[in-house]
Amino acid sequence: MARFTVNGADCSPQNGGRLIDFLRDELKLTSVKNGCKEGACGACMVIIDGKAQRACIQRVDALEGKAVLTVEGLSDCEREVYAYAFARAGAVQCGFCTPGMIMSAKALIDANPHPSAAQVKEALRGNVCRCTGYKKIERAVLLAAAILRGDERMEPDGAARVGVRFARVDAVGKALGSTKYADDVYMDGMLYGSALRSAHPRARVLSIDTAQAEALPGVAAVVTAKDIPGARKIGHIVQDWDVLIPVGGITHYLGDSIALVAAHDRETVERAKALIEVEYEVLEAVFSPGRALEEGAVKLHGDSNVLALEHLVRGDAAGAIAHSAHVVTERYSLPFTEHAFLEPECAVAYMEDECVRILSADQGIYQTRKECAAMLGLPEERVRVTAMAVGGGFGGKEDMSVQHHAALLAYITKRPVKVALTRQESILVHPKRHAMELEFTTACDEEGYLTGMKAVIIADTGAYASLGGPVLQRACTHAAGPYNYQNVDILGMAVYTNNPPAGAFRGFGVTQSCFATECNINRLAELVGISPYEFRLKNAIRPGQTLPNGQLADDGTALVETLEAVRGVVEANPGCGIACALKNAGLGVGNRDVGRCRLAIESGKVRIYSSAACIGQGMGTVLTQLVCEETGLPAERVEYMPPDTALAPNAGNTTASRQTLFTGEACARAARALASAMSCKSLDALEGESFYGEYEGVTDPMGSAKENPVSHIAYGYATHVVVLNDDGTLNSVTAAHDVGRAINPTAIEGQIEGGVTMSLGYALTEDFPLREGKPLARFGTLGLFRAPQTPDINALIIEKNDSELAHGAKGIGEICSIPTAPAVALAYENRDGLRRTSLPLEGTPYSRKKRE
């Protein structure tokens, strides 16, 4: 039994085990986050005898005489300085990695009060951030060092208004570890739950014997499909995803759940799962869309392996291509990608009278309520979902992963139950970015004006539908790019396989189709004899012109302005790579799309209630700034409340880059009503009153007969430029973005930097190898970019939008990750002459040996 100190207090754990479990479960020091428990992410970083160490790989019995420090143990001065520096620099987004970052920063600054930028990068080598792109974190560390040595002062924040660099309202709590994520919830009598997963990607379950598991001391329940009181299949759009595979049912991938176990501790849960005996009949599986589409292939759902089919036609593409001066046809192969959000999926559920309460980290609390209520056979009002802080999402937390399992176990046991995925389970279970095979033909005239394009897109949608249909649709609707031509013929198919499911991922299919379009354009520019920059400027959509989908570009269209913003960089770096993109804000194409917000005057404050999930983008801060802008109130009189289905109106999922525009406009409308009331009464006199705002964006459905249908309420535009060093490593990325109006410039820069860094990994290092449906990667081998690899990122904000909606703001969350990869590909082609048509790019200084 080792004796050591934690934050100055003597400790002598009775049991061995990992330091992270002792700190979190015994001492409740939840600033120490469990991101991977593999020593790869740094979210659990602590300081041991002055050195930054990962708590997940430290054993308590090896700590004799040592001193352990967590964020909770920092001095009051240090806590204030680090929280201020990280908030002021915009270094906090989802916040899950932030306490670990601060511990690495403190270890560096204690040893070196005057660190250089390079030394900061090196100190953060062991910490992964999937949100920010590291640049603002590095600035935060340098600022903290300057304040601690007396070279800088902490200044009060300015007024919260539209366009102001206002610090995030949740930054301090996230930095200091006081913000609660789902896994930070501990309740009296709480059980731990977990699922036994399928042993085979496709097999018939012949029998499930749970007797030995049920007899194990400490086990509270073993649940199989026969115990589900309501729907056995759920899903956002298509209800094809099995809650649990029943006896006689067929598994669809290795992540399928066969049985659930709830027990008093995690160790007992794992022992019980090992005692469950499942008999399978192994069946033929398919692991590629090509095989799934072959005649005679086994059918995974119903009588067809095609989940969705899109065929978009405008004009006469074949005729235009046949009469064009230059035509390029190329095939592209793009891989699955893992979201790698820092927080693995977790939910806590418990009974509250006759209501099932769910505390979860997901991207849409009303969707969670709907699916869990269907599974439980309950009316939706008997399921209440409250959002905890979300440690990153990027689309990967739109589907049910653990919420429904926690709810089912709590409903059956009548006890609080926490269900958390291990990192390896997370990698296996949740939907990925779609792997796609694409064939694109693009044509132009002698002068380089685009004339037409044809495309075939085949998407591997994996085992279940998830959001595969809408993702395919968006890949197709944006495939022609942000250019002025109308002859398109785009055929898309999403195909079921026995691979892990594919669904929403930042970019929502446009990341893939943009890569193909932009690479084809580079070849056309070469044939015409003009630069890739000139070709794009010549064809860039301008206000009043018609997009390939038929929609008229509005006055706020600023693709040309993004190109002009990067002209100097392009001219100074002839071998650079460049790419453009557009991305919608809102669901569009005829889907009902409503943002909602309620402002309640409670305890002398304006409390903001909306179900709009904050997954790191800063939703609470945006809404706070809008309220303060409309009312003139100071930020301390405004409070953003956690999304809760019992208190907040339904603002839809955080998806499609929609929340700032849709719920932002709803919030602004509610705030104007409040401002009108305040013209007659003081805020205190309005105590107990509420003000409601709603905004619905009306669009035209796919296939509309209108000459110029409105497919989406708004589009953002972007141009990215990538410059390499002489040795082939990344020098810089300049990312110019048409954001409409910047509600918070610091937050927008952070989104751009994070999106660029994420897609640098997509282009160069990230890999998600599968062997017969089994992921071969661990968190540490995914190829995520780390601080020392990340180049300078220059985010250029272009504001050109007089729309009254949300003060002119457009979505930024997705488009920032879309044009990076094709820009990188062109930079390397210009360097070595090799045309690369698959990702990650081969033959670069970042290339890794592929696993078989």
Residues 599-643 have pLDDT tens digits of: 999 999 999 999 999 999 999 999 999 999 999 999 999 999 999
For helices 98-111 and 76-88, what crossing angle results, to 10°?
Answer: 120
Q: Which two tokens stand for residue 126?
A: 């062991």
DSSP, residue by residue, 289-315: HHHHHSTTPPPSSTT-SEEEEEEEEES
Gap between the Cα atoms of 427 and 37, Å rounded:
13
Gap between the Cα atoms of 723 and 793, Å rounded:
10
Supply the pLDDT for residue 65.
98
**Tokens 């609080």, residue located:** 416
Phi, psi of 728, rounded to the nearest 5 degrees: 90, -5
State the burial class of residue 163 (Cβ atoms within 10 Å of its Cβ: 0-12, 13-18, 19+): middle
End-to-end CA distance of the chain: 44
Supply the pLDDT for residue 852.
40
Residues 6+ apart with CB under 8 A from 277: 207, 208, 209, 212
The three-state secondary structure class of 753 is helix
Gap between the Cα atoms of 159 and 171, Å rounded:
16
Contact 809, 664 (CB under 8 A): yes
Among 662, 664, 687, which Cα is nearest to 674's? 687
Query: Is pLDDT at 491 greater than 90 in this prediction?
Result: yes
Contact 232, 249 (CB under 8 A): no
Supply the pLDDT for residue 182.
98
Supply the pLDDT for residue 850.
54
Beta pairing, strands 488-496 & 417-420: unpaired
Residues 6+ apart with CB under 8 A from 269: 192, 193, 194, 261, 262, 263
pLDDT in tens, 342-372: 999 999 999 999 999 999 998 999 999 999 9
Percent of all residues in the chain with a pLDDT value above 70, rounded to a whole number: 100
**Tokens 């990698």, residue located:** 427
Q: Please report, for residues 688, 711, 718, 813, the alpha-carbon distance to residue 752 in angstroms, rounded to integers and kept in the order given.
A: 40, 25, 10, 8
Average pLDDT over residues 667-676: 98
Q: Which two tokens stand for residue 222?
A: 């073993």
pLDDT in tens, 513-546: 999 999 999 999 999 999 999 999 999 999 999 9
The three-state secondary structure class of 204 is strand
Q: Which two tokens stand for residue 397?
A: 């937390």
Supply the pLDDT for residue 849.
67
Among 703, 693, 490, 494, which Cα is nearest to 589's? 703
- The number of beta carbons lying within 10 Å of the beta carbon of residue 410 is 29
Which residues in 510-541 are b (16+ Cβ under 10 Å) and which e? bbbbbbbbbbbbbbbbeebebbbbebbbbbbb
Write down the mean pLDDT value for the chain.
97
Look at 348 and 852; give whichever has higher pLDDT.
348
The three-state secondary structure class of 132 is coil
pLDDT in tens, 570-606: 999 999 999 999 999 999 999 999 999 999 999 999 9
State the burial class of residue 330 (Cβ atoms within 10 Å of its Cβ: 0-12, 13-18, 19+): middle
pLDDT in tens, 775-826: 999 999 999 999 999 999 999 999 999 999 999 999 999 999 999 999 999 9
Query: Is pLDDT at 851 greater than 60 in this prediction?
Result: no
Supply the pLDDT for residue 848.
81
Average pLDDT over residues 136-141: 98
Phi, psi of 620, rounded to the nearest 5 degrees: -60, -35
Percent of all residues in the chain with a pLDDT value above 90, rounded to a whole number: 98
Average pLDDT over residues 295-301: 97
CB < 8 Å & 24+ apart, contacts of 47-51: 47/103, 47/106, 47/107, 50/107, 50/110, 50/111, 51/107
Supply the pLDDT for residue 15.
86
**Tokens 């292939």, residue located:** 297
Gap between the Cα atoms of 374 and 377, Å rounded:
5
Q: Name the CA radius of gyration of the chain, rounded.
A: 26
Contact 578, 559 (CB under 8 A): no
pLDDT in tens, 410-460: 999 999 999 999 999 999 999 999 999 999 999 999 999 999 999 999 999
